[in-house]
Amino acid sequence: MKIILASASPRRRELMKMITEDFTAVSADIDETVPQNVNTLEVSEYIAERKAKAVAEKYPDDVVIGCDTTVIYGSKIFGKPATHEDCTEVLEYLSGKTHQVVTGCTIVQGNKTVSFSVVTDVSFRELSFDEIGDYAMTSEPYDKAGGYGIQGKGALFIEKINGDYYNVVGLPVCRLNQELKKFLKEK
């Protein structure tokens, strides 16, 4: 039995090493379309479960972990910006506000599935037009939900967080470690 992280994210792979060095990463290529009846705070968990189960079909004897991170303000979800315009629009929207970063995780082996979400509140200070434009000119925001990286120059926008820092990076290390230990013990 192996542990497989169903993710192509280099950040998740690095963070997973805090839990165990003994894992394999496999990209989960799924359609991330979410039915409209899924609650905004449950979207990450829904996608994480789809990722985990898609990879588990190929590796039925192994323990597969799927994760997905969303940035939410009110009922609006901000994904990865595709263009400079998308990025500046998202950052202008988040400027001066507190939003939620939700990472959903699913652990699957055979017929056993455990899912959970971790929510962290992130407060941005008021950002200037020039700050937003300069940041959007870098490569940093384009592979990150919400268009910023807390572990990079995006940290300059953040006044405070309430919750798990690593959750904002993309993997709630503490909670995942506890859930994985419990999952493996209950086999």
Query: Which of the residues are catalytic?
Result: 68
Which one-letter amino acid corresponds to residue 68? Answer: D
Neighbours of 116 (CB within 10 A): 16
Q: In the 8-state DSSP scheme, what is residue 7?
A: -
Element (H, E) at 122: strand 112-124
Cα–Cα distance, 170 to 151 (Å, whole number):
10
Whole-Å CA distances, 22 to 5, 111, 134, 167: 11, 23, 39, 21
Tokens 């490569």 belong to residue: 139
